[in-house]
Chains A and B, each alone.
Chain A
């Protein structure tokens, strides 16, 4: 039973997130010379153990990972093809809990392994308080996850953020903001948490408030998290808002409305940048980079046969390009290219393609 459970849920989890995990692995282990890896990670862990803020950021990343895995499990468990897994709900409680703990451990293996390394270093250096808090956080995340999996298996309603009804004026960009705040609250919350962590993490680096490249690197990482929102926007544009095609708007006006929509979405990030950076020049630069990235990804999905896979590939490549050029202070070039290319793609494909739903793998 355990192997079926893992093959049905854990395997697709790693398949779906292979790109992101590979990137994190590359950042953590691939960017440092092999002879320096142990020293590098020892320094990184010591930094977290000695700084409560840094440690809280690490806990935040773990929490985001847990929320992601819970969301994935909930989504897949409710697929018709996975309905048979509810048979686990009929197992004795002890047996069931054992399975779910193993599943949590399997899904969280990268996090748990690194947490154990941190605990080892903390104990070696006598940082008992930090070691205890790491164990407590990991235990709390495991218990909460197992409790939630059981909650789902008992066929209870999935947990949702408290509902409130927001009614914005009838303006096209605000339709998408309302989509985020009504039907995509969880995705929106996770995206913004990840984006905020990426930004704040980079802002901890020396000279981050004076060297524009550093916050822009954080922003580019945060933008990568927005691919899911861009995908959902495109889906809405092609389904429940497909009728807007019959309204008297030019293609360039529609594209400008998208630029405005993404400007609204990126307001939180730009506020963080404006507050933390030394000059206000970060506001137009940050906004231009963020909107350009989102527009390019959006426009790349206007071609027929669009899918999450295509978005993931283009998103990752765009991110690598932006990240690399930003390091060399050349971010203006990919940003200008993104704006131009997005307009070209949108203007060419939008009038030539029928409304279509994404091609999704089951």
Chain B
């Protein structure tokens, strides 16, 4: 169970999130919200990238009290990935692979699934947004984290790759993972996939 407890996030005087309590059971959760509602802030906060008040817990592990152990359980693919232009996809993926103690076979397989192996040796500065998105998804899926935060994972991807993302998500769900996905794209639930919808409205989360 992934839980948010008394979470409050503000940028200066501007409050963005105020979530007294919310629990995500294992499974697929579609985080819905209008532009600017705070979805990306929520994802970054849960990924440990932002300072905030309150706490996020997963499997009795607290982000605030056990920051390293918590981060081992969670991975995040940003909506608009930004990496150093001079590094190659291979360098970035290899780096994440080592940090997450993942196998070379896994990253090799992911690169093949996303058809990114051909260009991964080039610096990311020359990538299109779709190519960059694929690399960010490979990085997020590297390892065996039990929580996946996918912020707009389908944007800029071609139709075939979107199907691969669905298949990889289904694989993670079968292993008992918790997936939080935000998207404005038409949702294509696949067989056996139960999508729990969660609305982010007025800075708070509501199950629908």
Contacts and interface: CB of A to CB of B under 8 A. Distances in A.
B49 A242 contact: yes
Given A170-B91, A170-B98, A172-B95, A239 B82 contact: yes
Contacts of B48: 245-246
B90 interface: yes
Given A169-B94, A246-B48, A352-B51, A183 B67 contact: no
Interface in A233-269: 236, 239-243, 245-251
Interface stretch (A89-97, A102-110, A174-182): A174-182
B16 to A, nearest CB: 11
A248 B48 CA distance: 9
A246 B84 contact: no
Nearest to A181: B86
B74 interface: yes
* B: interface residue count bin: 35 or more
B42 interface: no
B123 interface: yes
Contacts, number: 83
How would you classify the secondary structure of chain B's contact residues: helix, strand, loop or mixed? mixed
Interface string A18-36: 0000000000000000000
User: Chain A: interface secondary structure?
Assistant: loop
Contact of A178 (B71, B87, B94, B96): B87
For chain A, give the interface size range: 20 to 34
B85 interface: yes
Contacts of B91: 167-170, 175
Highest count of chain B CB atoms <10 Å: which of A169, A251, A354: A354
B193 interface: no
A165 B85 CA distance: 12
Interface string B76-112: 1010011111111011111111111000000000000
Interface in B37-69: 47-51, 67-69
B49 A355 contact: yes
Given A178-B87, A355-B49, A249 B95 contact: no
Given A175-B87, A179-B86, A236-B84, A247 B49 contact: no
A144 B49 CA distance: 47
B85 to A, nearest CB: 7
B68 A250 contact: yes
Contacts of A241: 83-84
B49 A246 contact: yes
A246 B90 contact: no
B182 interface: no
B23 interface: no
Contact of A247 (B88, B93, B96): B96
A245 B49 contact: yes
B69 A248 contact: yes
A60 interface: no
B71 A170 contact: no
A354 B51 contact: yes
Nearest to B92: A170
Contacts of A179: 84, 86
18 contacts: A165-B123, A167-B121, A170-B93, A170-B97, A172-B95, A175-B91, A179-B84, A182-B86, A240-B83, A242-B82, A246-B47, A246-B48, A246-B49, A246-B76, A247-B96, A250-B67, A250-B68, A354-B11
Interface of B: 11, 47-51, 67-72, 74-76, 78, 81-88, 90-100, 121, 123
